[in-house]
Amino acid sequence: MTHQEISEKIKLQFPQAIIETKFEGVVDPYVKIIPEQIFEVMLFLHVDENLKFDFLMCLSGIDTGKGNLGVVYNLFSMTHRHKINIKVEVPKEKPEVPSITNVFPAANWHEREAFDLIGIIFTGHPDPRRILMPYDWEGHPLRKDYKTPEFYQGMKIPY
Amino acid sequence: MTDIFETSIKTSTGKALRREEMVINMGPQHPSTHGVLRLEVVADGEIVIDVIPHIGYLHRCFEKHAENMTGYQQVVPYVDRMDYCAAMNMDFGYVLAVEKLLGIQVPERVEYIRVIMAELQRVASHLIAAGTYGLDIGAFTPFLYMFRERERILDLFEMTCGARLLYNYMWVGGVSHDLPPGFIDKAKDFCQYFKPKIKEYNDLLSYNEIFIKRTANVGVLPGDVAIAYGCSGPVLRGSGVDFDLRRDDPYSVYHKFDWKPEIGKGEMGAVGDCWDRYIVRIREMIQSINIVEQALNQIPEGDVATAIPKRIRPNAGDVYVRTESARGELGFYVISDGTAKPFRIKARSPSFVNLSVIPEISRGGMIADLVAIAGSLDIVLGEVDR
């Protein structure tokens, strides 16, 4: 199925969910949806017979630099061999996105990484710990306004 | 009602240990974890109840580095250092992503050179994987045999770009050097030399009774679980899923060659056990050599670089490009804001995702099997931690 058809199917099921779709003039077409419904949309994409997205290729957290944080999901269907990119955006003050680990177990570590480096809180995540940085690290390094700390646990960082 | 067998000791995920359970730390410095990986093992005697991987010991925030470089070209050496066993494959994925963002087409000769390098690198990487896997299980000799052949591949790389491990060879828009004179003959010689060696490995290791006893029916990963966890590469194909990005989501010139992906068939036990994952790598080497031979025969003359500006400024936008690295699906999600600096680069490293399945497949096994399972996933910690 093409991106347009997939987007139409989402629209039919969740009339209010889609904020923006872009298929022309971009390298990778995408569908932007509201963060509150991401779990339901993902579940629908996963179980629907004609869509059957079963492979989460990538999940990236991003700092848009304009006061928002975002998550990009790249999905692929092993059965039908089609792709879709889903985007959500949340404000920096309340960066909460429902976790999709229960739909795609692959999202578990990706979401932990996005929490660790960007600071997006995935509500309902089964194991919300840091993954790459030390467990007692403060701050989220990939945010655009991140300042490298001078001290770590009272030790001066010499660079 | 509280469980009277529960103790007040907790694992790092917050689960209380039962009286008969204990926690054993495997790593961070352990020979079979292939780097600095810590596996927190909850064990009941010798039986593994749960495994909690702790990663990040090698974390240097490649993504932050990439954002602070002066240009897209400067990221290439960093990409090299992610998977130091298959640096060419890493370069390949990154430059394809940037080229797709730029919308440029590279000359056909470049595509062929890249495929030759990537496939030779895949052979070299699988040789390390299989050799060290034998080492984990206790077979020392195959490791030496495999490194002997890997040395010849590294000689070919050294001849091409001067480096033996971290190449910085593939650049955006081309490659850094053309093939040196005599390379094609030497590479063809190597292919002829390498083909009979597979039988040696099979005699020494693959069909060795002890090796089969240690790996068959151990760490069985069913195909649907592998897909759900996002596993890719030999780990996915070992589970009997016929999926290879080089064929199913083709990039570069892979569609021009005649080859087929190898999948695990469960010859020694269940489909998706450690032996299947191992044998897929051994058989993939033959396929890679086949591709290299075809590419060497078909390679056209021409330029090895397209004219691109010194400061690359892609249009604002984002792209996700995935390629088949030696360990699986290597994806780069690149966002450009129109300036010369990358706005955000996320690397979807195959080892990171493949490692996340380890708790799932090692529960209920023995602690000694954990060594076999971790080795069969073939992780490179530089790429897991980035």
With cut-offs at 50, 70 and 90, classify the pLDDT of residue A159: low
Which residue is closest to A84 within chain B, CA to CA?
B320
> A1 in contact with B at a CB cutoff of 8 Å?
no
Q: Which residues of B touch A134 (CB under 8 A)?
A: 56
What tens digit of pLDDT does each residue of A33-52 get? 988 888 888 898 888 888 88
**Same domain assignment for residues B85 and B22:** no
Q: Where does B218-363 have alpha helices with state H? A: 223-228, 234-238, 245-248, 274-298, 350-355, 358-362
**Same domain assignment for residues B219 and B71:** yes
pLDDT number for residue B2: 67
**Same domain assignment for residues B143 and B11:** no
**Same domain assignment for residues B178 and B327:** yes
CA distance B94 to B68: 17
Kindly determine whether residue B333 and residue A60, on different chains, have CB atoms separated by under 8 Å: yes
**DSSP 8-state assignment for residue B300:** P
**Same domain assignment for residues B103 and B47:** no
**Distance separating the N- and C-terminal Cα atoms of chain A:** 52
Kindly determine whether residue A106 and residue B228, on different chains, have CB atoms separated by under 8 Å: yes
**Same domain assignment for residues B213 and B252:** yes
Final residue before a domain boundary, out of B19, B37, B54 = B54
pLDDT number for residue B192: 92
pLDDT number for residue B1: 54
**Same domain assignment for residues B19 and B88:** no
Kindly determine whether residue B248 and residue A27, on different chains, have CB atoms separated by under 8 Å: no
> A157 in contact with B at a CB cutoff of 8 Å?
no
**Same domain assignment for residues B81 and B23:** no
Residue B80 CA neighbour count, 13 Å, CB half: 15
**Same domain assignment for residues B227 and B328:** yes
Exposed, middle or buried: residue A158 (CB in 10 Å: 0-12, 13-18, 19+)? exposed
Kindly determine whether residue B348 and residue A57, on different chains, have CB atoms separated by under 8 Å: yes
How many beta-carbon pairs under 8 angstroms link A with B? 92
What tens digit of pLDDT does each residue of A80-139 get? 888 888 899 999 888 899 999 999 998 999 999 999 998 899 988 888 888 888 888 888
**Same domain assignment for residues B309 and B376:** yes
Identify each DSSP E strand in A96-136 by its residue range.
Answer: 96-98, 121-123
What is the residue type of A34?
I
Tokens 């093409």 belong to A2
Kindly determine whether residue A58 and residue B101, on different chains, have CB atoms separated by under 8 Å: no
**Same domain assignment for residues B128 and B257:** yes
> What's phi and psi for A156, nearest 5 deg?
-75, 135
Complete domains list, chain A, with CATH: 3-147 (3.30.460.80)
Helix, strand, coil percentages in chain B from 3-state DSSP, rounded to 5: 45, 15, 35
Q: Which residues of A touch B241 (CB under 8 A)?
A: 78
Overall pTM surpassing 0.95 (yes/no): no
Residues ≥6 apart with Cβ < 8 Å to B381: B33, B34, B35, B36, B37, B55, B57, B58, B351
**Same domain assignment for residues B31 and B75:** no
Q: Which residues of A touch B352 (CB under 8 A)?
A: 109
Which residue from B63, B228, B346 is facing A58, i.e. has the nearest CB? Answer: B346
> What's phi and psi for B73, nearest 5 deg?
-65, -35
CA distance B173 to B110: 9
Question: Total domain count for chain B?
Answer: 2
CA distance B101 to A91: 27
pLDDT number for residue A52: 87
pLDDT number for residue A148: 83
A65 or B232, higher pLDDT = B232
Q: Residue B295 is part of a domain; what is its CATH number?
A: 1.10.645.10
Range of B16's domain? 5-54
> A102 in contact with B at a CB cutoff of 8 Å?
no
**What does the angle CA B230 – CA B90 – CA B31 come to, to the nearest 5 degrees?**
75
Give the C-alpha distances (Å, rounded to integers) separating B335 from A87, B170, B314, B315.
Answer: 13, 20, 10, 10
Q: A87 to chain B nearest CA, in Å?
A: 12
pLDDT in tens, chain B (386 residues): 567 788 878 888 878 887 888 888 887 887 777 778 888 999 988 899 889 999 888 888 888 888 887 788 888 888 888 888 889 999 999 999 988 888 888 888 899 999 999 999 999 999 999 999 988 888 889 899 999 999 999 999 999 988 888 888 888 888 888 889 889 999 999 999 999 989 989 998 889 888 898 888 888 999 889 999 989 989 999 998 989 888 888 888 888 888 888 888 888 888 888 999 999 999 999 999 999 999 999 888 888 878 777 788 888 888 999 999 988 899 999 998 888 888 889 999 999 999 999 998 988 888 888 888 988 888 888 888 88
Other CB atoms within 10 Å distance of the CB of residue B280: 24
pLDDT number for residue B292: 92
pLDDT number for residue B338: 84
Which helix (H) or strand (E) is B346 found in, with range? Answer: strand B342-348
ipTM confidence: 0.89
pLDDT number for residue B124: 92
Which residue is closest to A117 within chain B, CA to CA?
B61
